[in-house]
Amino acid sequence: MRVALVMSTLVLTAHGSRDPRSGANAGAVAARVRLLRPGLDVRLAFLDLNEPGLVDVLAGLPDSRRAVVTPLLLASAYHARRDIPKQIAEAGAHGVGQADVLGEDDRLVSVLRERLSRVGVSALDDDLGVMVVAIGSSDAAANARTAQVASRLAAGTSWVGAATGFSTRPDASVARAAHQLRRRGARRLVIAPWFLAPGLFTDKLAAYARDNGIPMAAPLGAHPLVAETVLDRYDQALAQNAAA
């Protein structure tokens, strides 16, 4: 889907982090979006901890410019449902839309599969259990949607299975996911991080992987399919606004 509006702006909005790798990754995604859609005004913004902030970016847009805040977020949880609308209102921005989060898009699952292949994982590994690890949310529905990634990732493979672990949920921890897979017969494990960028949580996850002798793939990063998914969400929002 591709919809063009005059003077439209894609405001790529990331959470923000004290870890410079996170901000650098967001900038790299924005650069890829510009390459995929030459002429589109793409501006990078952060909800917290980094500059420029979303409120400042929106306040700096010309009055005549239509903008779509496009979250660089995987889950439709607190930041997408509360923080972004709140900051749009604080900016006093009119005519600003909000796109959906990236979600459990099949393109992103394919990126995760590619990341696993780089640490030696094959679809034919019939003794393998794959742990898909995400940050987790207090929103049970958001966690349930994230858990779909594991089944999509394992579809068509010979793996023992794939299970989901959440870095911030003791009731669904990484160790619990490992235990589940071993009980199902997995003799080898690998970690597939459902994160966009490296940071504190992935560093802790990498330490767990090292301590337990478990290979770990890289985060999704600034893969071209991440940028393609961003543009798809932006186009969907434009189409919905045009139809309203």
Let me know: does 108 contact 102? Beta carbons within 8 Å: yes
126-167 tens-digit pLDDT: 999 999 999 988 888 999 999 999 999 999 999 999 999 999
Q: Which residues of 99-125 are buried (b: 16+ CB within 10 A; e: fewer)?
A: bbbbbbbeebbebbbebbeeeebeeeb
User: What's the whole-model pTM score?
Assistant: 0.93
Fold agreement between 9-103+223-243 and 106-212 = yes
Residue 179's pLDDT is what? Answer: 96
Q: Are 210 and 234 in contact (CB under 8 A)?
A: no
Q: Quick one: fold of 9-103+223-243? A: Rossmann fold (3.40.50)
Topology of the domain comprising 106-212: Rossmann fold (3.40.50)
Q: Are 216 and 204 in contact (CB under 8 A)?
A: no
Q: Where are the domains of the chain?
A: 9-103+223-243, 106-212
pLDDT-based confidence at residue 204 (cuts at 50, 70, 90): very high
Q: CA 228: distance to chain centroid?
A: 13
Please state, in angstroms and as integers, the Cα–Cα distance from residue 10 to each residue in 37, 121, 192, following that order.
Answer: 11, 36, 29
Q: What is the mean pLDDT of residues 113-123?
A: 98
Predicted confidence band at 63 (pLDDT cuts at 50, 70, 90)? low
Q: CA-to-CA distance for 231 and 161, rounded, in angstroms?
A: 32
171 or 46: which leads in pLDDT: 46
pLDDT at 183 over 50: yes
What integer best gives the mean pLDDT of the chain? 93
